[in-house]
Structure 1
């Protein structure tokens, strides 16, 4: 794993002040800086933000629907980046239920795969156009209990990269591990993030009654 793969951009107040972390995972061809732009539309004033950077702007080389072996060792390296980041945050005294993860496209797939392999009570997950990784889903890889973790998962119908069928499979597995999933399929939507998706993500990041977390 090279130094670029390990690069993480941090924004916001220190964890010792916020007590909450949001990990943002960029898509193929994008960057940590670009996914941090998404945070400008989210209620993150009381979060510490972390955005890891993939080597050569790509977490793994082929489609997330390709046989998993074709995306190795890049996929395992990418999962290790997220795992190392989560462990670093929990090592600073932040419990997993105060850690939120969000990603778009390839970053959404990586977010879904990591969280479902390590199911526990997270603060929330926002999977913007993504699903679990592999030509065929091997359910034996997914362990743990989400304990009601709120999850938003979306895609377009059709989407050039993420078929509705894979989103449906992902929802079934995550719900089976105890997640509380909101699924949104948008007919004819281009490969992007809509304002409605942002609004739904805001409800996860700043649930009703959590006034101090809403950016004025």
Structure 2
């Protein structure tokens, strides 16, 4: 089992000129550089982009639906790394209300798990194919108030990794904590990010 080294790639605007910061979390087997390539399709011209790199290219070893203990200590280490990235953006003078998160697949699950454990008013959150983490969800882990933060969750209706029932459970918890959630489920969509999803992310979150 492993923990994560601190390796964060910065792109986009310098902090001094940025109106917002976006934390981007890559999927299993991918890289920080890979998720940063999405900036070509997203309205992020005024943003500082921060993409941490998972050690061994994976945030945790097993499925996000495995018992939480099976994914330790990697999962706690991943959550702590995201927390460090957030703390750095706050130090740079970017407030939580101008802080955005975006993740794909394993990175989308980690995104949702982090923000739901630290619910507050963020700029917006995009989870391309993901849900909250654990064999069953422990509601006491999730606290705070999203205060109307817009959250977009997208997925295919028969995704091989992320079952619809977990997205539905996650949406219910997010809404209960005051998030304005849009869940968009596409029939037959493969496990990837489509042009339609990035358009929706721009329209609902980044515009």
Pick the TM interval, shorter chain: over 0.9
Offset, 1:136: 0.2
2:180 counterpart of 1:180: yes
Is 1:16 the counterpart of 2:16? The answer is: yes
Q: Which residue of 1 aligns with 2:45?
A: 45
Q: How many residues align?
A: 206
For residue 199 of structure 1, what is the aligned residue in structure 2? 199
RMSD of Structure 2 on Structure 1 (CA)? 1.1
1:174 and 1:15 mapped to 2: Cα distance?
29
Deviation at 1:203, TM superposition (A): 1.6
Task: Give, in whole Å, the separation in 2 of the partners of 1:178 and 1:117.
Answer: 13
In structure 1, what is the equivalent of residue 143 of structure 2?
143
The structural deviation recorded for 1:196 is 1.4
Tell me what 2:155 maps to: 155
Q: Name 1:89's counterpart in structure 2.
A: 89
TM-score for the superposition, normalised by structure 2: 0.97
Paired with 1:201 and 1:106, the residues of 2 have a C-alpha distance of 18
CA contact (8 A) 1:148 1:179 kept: yes
Residue equivalent to 1:111: 111
C-alpha separation between the residues in 2 aligned to 1:126 and 1:109? 10
Helix, strand or coil at the partner of 1:120 = coil
Unpaired stretches in structure 1, ≥5 consecutive residues? 208-216
Structure 2 gap segments, 5+ residues each: none
Please give the alpha-carbon distance, in whole angstroms, between the structure 1 residues aligned to 2:186 and 2:43. 24
2: CA distance, partners of 1:124 / 1:34 = 21
| Equivalent pair of 1:44/1:205 in contact (CA under 8 Å) | no
Preserved CA contact (<8 Å) 2:99 2:123: yes
The SS at the match of 1:82 is helix
Kept after mapping to 1: 8 A contact 2:150/2:205: no
CA distance in 2, matches of 1:94, 1:18: 8
Please report how far the alpha carbon of residue 200 of structure 1 lies from its aligned counterpart in structure 2 after TM superposition: 1.0
CA contact under 8 A between 1:61 and 1:74: conserved in structure 2?
A: yes
